[in-house]
Structure 1
């Protein structure tokens, strides 16, 4: 008896489903997981090499593809070298659930609304459902120096091993707007730590200690790393001490600190300030203490009880803010130095004379302030730390408009995601003239595509 070829067959249907849908999806997931990473350029920090609105592909296997459900990577065939354009995880991230798979299970990604996780071990009164409004951030910068290199920044120019690097252009559409003195312009000479280097933590200034905290956090992703600051006033702990005249330079990395100061000091008129000005006002040490403890300032209280979900979102802390704190403590505790037009002095015979331009210090009646630091890993205090994995110094090609390693320190090899390779699409919408939600602007699409940039290989810069 002949079979009807048009008769429905579940077996044929399943084979067709596997061949046409399941296999391509599995292959696509494998490629996305192990081979390539897509990235969109959100800012002008890499101009003119990369433009806002460029979409590019990065090769994951170059530096080592991630192993699913772990914080480990397969071995890569190379390390980042100076000149490579690199996609990496921002090294100052808080402890996202991705780094603790034993406690958190990822439920789904809500696109622009963030990620939802199930917390298997919530604190008392906390819901199991956790909403992370901001996911871990991937950055793209150029690797300009590697472990063992000597780095310095003078007047915004980068020096590697004593040689000025003129290959990074440092020009972009916002250069003139942001051209002012800031941490990106002056960095004293330092050496990028190599594997095996040991550091005595108590000997480091606060900003460098913050960089070291970042290194430890990157090298110990399954651990809880915390920097605790304590203020001593005349030898007595006073973490609620109020600085009555805390000075902050107006620079483009001070937004969080300046906003906190404006909130406390309503008399400061923001629109009269320009880059390079210094503002002052009342600030509490407890603000800096909390920032240093968690590394980020929560926009939603992560410990708030009640509600269907636990909202979590953060604003990041730049290490230069701690340098401001240390500088203000030093100024507060130093005696005032006065230059007098004339002062009474005695000559060798004991007679009174007048010495023009004499310098003397007024007695300091202010309390003596001192900052104590304690760095812990899983609650255990450490006083020394040995670097375990290679570190790299990243910098934007548009050096005058780039938050990079000059602010938040080194990037660990484990945090590096991919080597940027090629631009597969580019769309110009700086003026926001196109809106996906407004059909009347869709006619602009073909005129906004940067056709000449599609397929462009991302150039390397040899040092």
Structure 2
């Protein structure tokens, strides 16, 4: 009887070992997959989705793209205590996915190039710095402070790099006194004056215009005559020309704010400047090693950078002066490069015109190509996937 029981126990033990071995193999595979995905995401490239229209029509809402970390050099982790493959919160919840108990110094591995004018760049938005996030809550609601590498990812086009002199005149960007080449997909506001009611689906949507609204004088009270009605549409210059061919459209006019009309909440939000989104600057983008004198204009433009983004301690702005460790400073030399970013949808983009320069240590990577494009609001179901945009290179 004892021998018989032993013979029955031995196969049972073998089955348990086999099940335990299978579970361990499965667990090892999962852990390896997570490790490999985390390594690739950190070192080589990362997938992103476009949630807003600030880069239309270069990048459309609902497009999925790959961003290269290698182009500008991969950053070493700053916040190591983080759930793998998450950003700020655990998937599908509002539970923070990281602990800021440990903060490591930031280094950047060698890359293929530096950020250049015209590059479409993903970066961590600097306005989530704990010292400034409340200041920008009117422009960007629901801001919360996060460590550098876990600040919200934004995507914009670099229009000026470190050391450049930038000015926007009448909606046109000038860098170092030369008019920049406008992106092919760049959009602006246009006033469309119509002699009859416009069928929005057949006219606007068929021409790829997704953002339009009835004209009111709050947009720009210099656009329309007293008896004119129409729409404000966000579109490219090429599409604006196409609209002129409709016999019921009286005219199409670019909407540009006049110079001297001060726009609320524009960076640096100082009484020293009367800038707006169409007439901005001139301003010099800070460059590592560049020294400035701390006159009132420069304190307004660069004081926030010096106080919060240069790694300085005990720096405050008081009575229009920069005080460090209790002593007034009259000159300052920048410790890193900065960039000026703008969305290609120039009249619908919260960018550097509203929250300032992007520090180099906030740069994530270069947008390379779109691998999937899903229209969240298609005209019909067959157009849900934008087939012509799949695997398109981002320029």
Task: Please give the TM-score of this superposition, normalised by the length of structure 1.
Answer: 0.50
1:196 CA drift (Å): 1.4
What do the CA deviations read for 1:144-196 (whole angstroms, capped 9, x no partner)? 22122222211110111221113335743755446434522113433323221
What do the CA deviations read for 1:7-31 (whole angstroms, capped 9, x no partner)? 3327633651354211111111112
The residue number in structure 2 matching 1:402 is: 349
Residue 392 of structure 2 aligns to a residue in which SS? coil
In the aligned structure 2, how far is the partner of 1:43 from the partner of 1:378? 42
The residue number in structure 2 matching 1:162 is: 177
2:293 to 190, 200, 210: 200
The residue number in structure 1 matching 2:224 is: none
Instruction: State how 1:344-359 maps to structure 2 within 5 Å.
Output: none
Q: 1:114 to 1:403 in 2, by over 3 A?
A: closer
1:8 to 16, 24, 43: 16
What do the CA deviations read for 1:70-107 (whole angstroms, capped 9, x no partner)? 251332312111121000112222328xxxxxxxxxxx
Query: Higher mean Cα deviation, 142-151 or 175-184?
Result: 175-184
1:210 CA drift (Å): 4.2
What runs of 5+ residues in structure 2 fail to find an aligned partner?
1-6, 80-103, 132-141, 192-231, 233-254, 264-275
Residue 361 of structure 2 aligns to a residue in which SS? helix
Q: 1:144 to 1:422 in 2, by over 3 A?
A: same
In the aligned structure 2, how far is the partner of 1:17 from the partner of 1:419? 35
Cα RMSD after superposing both structures: 3.6
What do the CA deviations read for 1:253-289 (whole angstroms, capped 9, x no partner)? xxxxxxxxxxxxxxxxxxxxxxxxxxxxxxxxxxxxx
Greater relative contact order: 1 or 2 (C-alpha under 8 angstroms, separation 6 or more)? Answer: 1
Q: Does 1:180 align with 2:257?
A: yes
Query: Higher mean Cα deviation, 211-220 or 142-151?
Result: 211-220
Q: 1:84 to 1:116 in 2, by over 3 A?
A: closer
What runs of 5+ residues in structure 1 fail to find an aligned partner?
97-112, 118-131, 229-371, 434-443
Aligned 8 A contact 2:188 2:345 in 1: no
In the aligned structure 2, how far is the partner of 1:115 from the partner of 1:216? 19
Q: 1:377 to 1:452 in 2, by over 3 A?
A: farther
In the aligned structure 1, how far is the partner of 2:71 from the partner of 2:163? 22
In the aligned structure 1, how far is the partner of 2:144 from the partner of 2:288? 35
Aligned 8 A contact 1:171 1:400 in 2: no
In the aligned structure 1, how far is the partner of 2:60 from the partner of 2:391? 14
The residue number in structure 2 matching 1:88 is: 123
The residue number in structure 1 matching 2:35 is: 26
1:457 CA drift (Å): 1.6
In the aligned structure 2, how far is the partner of 1:74 from the partner of 1:449? 37
In the aligned structure 2, how far is the partner of 1:175 from the partner of 1:211? 34
In the aligned structure 2, how far is the partner of 1:455 from the partner of 1:156? 31
In the aligned structure 1, how far is the partner of 2:315 from the partner of 2:129? 10
Instruction: State how 1:231-380 maps to structure 2 within 5 Å.
Output: 372-375=319-322
In the aligned structure 2, how far is the partner of 1:43 from the partner of 1:116? 21
Task: Please give the TM-score of this superposition, normalised by the length of structure 2.
Answer: 0.58
Q: 1:423 to 1:175 in 2, by over 3 A?
A: farther
Question: Number of residue pairs matched?
Answer: 269
In the aligned structure 2, how far is the partner of 1:425 from the partner of 1:190? 38
In the aligned structure 1, how far is the partner of 2:43 from the partner of 2:326? 35
In the aligned structure 2, how far is the partner of 1:213 from the partner of 1:25? 39
2:76 to 57, 64, 67: 67
Residue 45 of structure 1 aligns to a residue in which SS? coil
More strand as a share of residues: 1
